[in-house]
Amino acid sequence: MEGSNIYGVVLAGGKGTRMGNVEKPKQFMEIGGKPIIVHTIEKFVVNAEFDKILVLSPKQWIKHTGDLIRKYIPGNDRIVVLEGGVTRNETIMNAISYIDREGCLNEDTIIVTHDSVRPFVTHRILEENIRYAREFGACDTVIPATDTIVESKDGQMISTIPDRMEMYQGQTPQSFKALHLRSLYQSLSKQEKEILTDACKILVIKGEKVHLVEGEESNIKITYPYDMRVAEALLGGR
């Protein structure tokens, strides 16, 4: 299945803390005795549709990330570690630039971007991301909101309470036709770029359609110590 023109893009952002500092970026913390980022990359490795799996890492952690991959996923030449950007979207642009440099970027190139700290992503979610990105140009993985979402503009008073039935919580992957995403991003003003909290918003503010992919409750983002406890509990099956 070589030459599918689909790339996994694992976003290992986090602070560029130097080695030796007390707090390592979350992706390097271990669950089940293995770094979270390794679990995440492995989910991409077992999907043959990905031509390459690009792992974007803060500059100081590139070697460390590469070493972990060699240790836990030996003999895999589909994984490439690249330097991330200052923001999430700049990091994604770095991934697209790599594909471009390799001479593989065209209108059909698909990138499936995913948080390195969401190791519980499933085969189905990845498959549907590929399917919907192909079909609709972009898609976002979400789950229906279980809590009522309250909007407050000043952080003190409620400004509005949207209908929960229409609310979803965003997860990842978020998948795109790479060339189109880049040209939309480049057309944004500096001000527009500043309000972007994630990559799907690039399309949304330009009035483009983004299809929904059904996520999973278990596809959690490991951000806080509490999440580590949840992750270990999910892994605790007999």
Applying CB under 8 A, the site for another protein has a residue count of 29
Give the Å distances, CA to CA, from 106 to 50, 97, 171.
Answer: 16, 12, 27
Question: With binding defined as CB under 8 A, does residue 43 bind another protein?
Answer: yes
Stretch that binds another protein, among 30-38, 87-95, 108-116, 139-147 (CB under 8 A): 30-38
Q: Which of 75, 103, 155, 207 binds another protein (CB under 8 A)?
A: 75
Q: Which of residues 24 and 78 has its CB atom nearest to another protein in the complex?
A: 78
Query: Any contact of residue 77 with another protein (CB under 8 A)?
Result: no
| Beta carbon nearer to another protein, 63 or 123 | 123
16 binds another protein (CB under 8 A): no
> Contact between 34 and another protein (CB under 8 A)?
yes
Near another protein in 121-150, by CB under 8 A: 122-124, 127
Q: Would you count residue 187 as binding another protein (CB under 8 A)?
A: no
Q: Is residue 46 at the binding interface for another protein, with CB under 8 A as the rule?
A: yes
Instruction: Write the binding mask 209 to 228 for another protein: x where contact by CB under 8 A, - elsewhere.
Output: -----x---x----------
List contacts with another protein (CB under 8 A): 1, 31-34, 39, 42-43, 45-48, 72-75, 119-120, 122-124, 127, 214, 218, 234-238
